A and B are shown apart, each in its own frame.
Chain A
């Protein structure tokens, strides 16, 4: 009996990934750093909840500033084909060997504030108006690269499914476990596309097959790959990185 009680119900190894994620949510992991100790004299060093709350509040303020600075008609710079970065860098929250293959009978589901909820097949998406771009992909880490994508302007798609264009958010769900969301104004910017092609070829799995978001007016982590569903909503949907503390608006 006592042996049973002493045995942990959950082993540390089992919950380690989740613990790590929770820990990362705190802005101030790794508090024993020179920077933090210098800057935080007088603050509560045991919980940091006050500092985290203050930073979150300022990030929300930053989001409002970014939305005010955003102009739907201002275009990201475009480049000649000679400027395309080779080799193009793979990036995801997992390593390249863990890229998921496209599920059989893949369709794009739509939900939320839309009038037409029918799922979309790849050929139906290919029949919509297409648009190409050669633009700079800027990662939140600081590096950047120039790539070429083409596909359906998201604004065209949203109008086609009868989306409520006054809704606040468009949410993207991916079959690799990723997710993200953007504001409606950025969704309707003409360079925001549902990309089907990369470098004039249908998307390969590591570039987001069969359909990805490409939005050159936001940081790279907003250009979600391997899409499986789009939702139009007024309820803040968050996203994979956003829920861990990345600035939600992430405009450039």
Chain B
């Protein structure tokens, strides 16, 4: 039996960490919207029914609880990603021409999707959201502890600017999620491969 053919598109560790991440990030985003609504710095509010926590104190309790889950999940993912070769194998930074080619193909709905392989656009988006989440943890620490982690808050330009960056990165992560979920809806097979063990597809199958 060829071991290569039966390798799961997403190893079980990745699948578990993905769904823990979904839960933790969901808690962070929805409680974060409730916190934002307490003192909006932009001229809009998130709809009250999307908030998690019911009021500012409850939202902060969720936010300052789920952060540990997100942090632990993220650290585990980074360790796994480097140790297993996942980052080297699956998220290799593509050449700009590759990105251009795949992006153009994607926008014309001609980009194939092989389960277990990432095209250049996916690699950019996935690597981008990983970096965004790491920055989000750092700006989050800056606005949670602007005195004790004053050096970190200073790196982001001080408390008020770090808060603005935290909000901006959140919008970026939400944008990623919308694109990601839309693409999963177009290729429902990919959802199955993130839940159960599905073999990696070897041949190009557009």
Contacts and interface: CB of A to CB of B under 8 A. Distances in A.
B157 to A, nearest CB: 12
Interface residue tally on B, bucketed by range: 35 or more
Given A58-B65, A139-B39, A77 B49 contact: no
Given A35-B50, A39-B52, A59 B61 contact: yes
B178 interface: no
A245 interface: yes
A58 B30 CA distance: 18
A76 B160 contact: no
Interface stretch (A24-32, A93-101, A124-132): A24-32
B84 interface: no
Contact of A251 (B35, B65, B148, B158): B148
Nearest to B64: A62
A60 to B, nearest CB: 11
A141 B59 CA distance: 11
A45 B156 CA distance: 40
A141 to B, nearest CB: 4
Contacts of B147: 74-77, 216-217, 251-252
Interface string B1-40: 0000000000000000000000100110011011110110
Interface in A20-67: 24, 26-36, 38-39, 54-56, 58-59, 62, 66
Contact of B36 (A35, A140, A142): A142
Interface in B46-71: 48-58, 60-62, 64-65, 68
A246 B62 contact: no
A24 B57 CA distance: 9
Contacts of B38: 140-142
B30 A38 contact: yes
Nearest to B160: A144
A93 to B, nearest CB: 13
Nearest to B163: A142
A79 B62 CA distance: 33
Contact of B49 (A33, A54, A75): A33
A20 B191 CA distance: 43
Given A39-B26, A140-B56, A245-B57, A58 B51 contact: no
A178 interface: no
Given A59-B61, A136-B159, A252 B56 contact: no
A189 to B, nearest CB: 10
Nearest to B38: A141
A214 to B, nearest CB: 14
A88 interface: no
Given A55-B61, A246-B60, A247-B61, A142 B23 contact: no
Given A32-B49, A252-B145, A24 B64 contact: no
B100 to A, nearest CB: 37
A207 B160 CA distance: 23
A55 B41 contact: no
A29 B54 contact: yes
Given A29-B58, A33-B48, A142 B39 contact: yes
Contact of B26 (A35, A58, A136, A246): A35
Point out which of A75, A217, A245 has the most chain B C-beta atoms below 10 A from its C-beta: A245
B71 to A, nearest CB: 11
B150 interface: yes
Given A24-B57, A69-B145, A70-B148, A34 B30 contact: yes
A142 B61 contact: no
Interface string A68-83: 0111001111000000
Nearest to B154: A77
B146 interface: yes
Given A71-B148, A136-B159, 16 more contacts: A24-B57, A28-B53, A29-B55, A30-B54, A30-B55, A36-B52, A38-B26, A39-B30, A55-B58, A55-B61, A62-B64, A74-B147, A77-B150, A140-B56, A142-B39, A143-B41
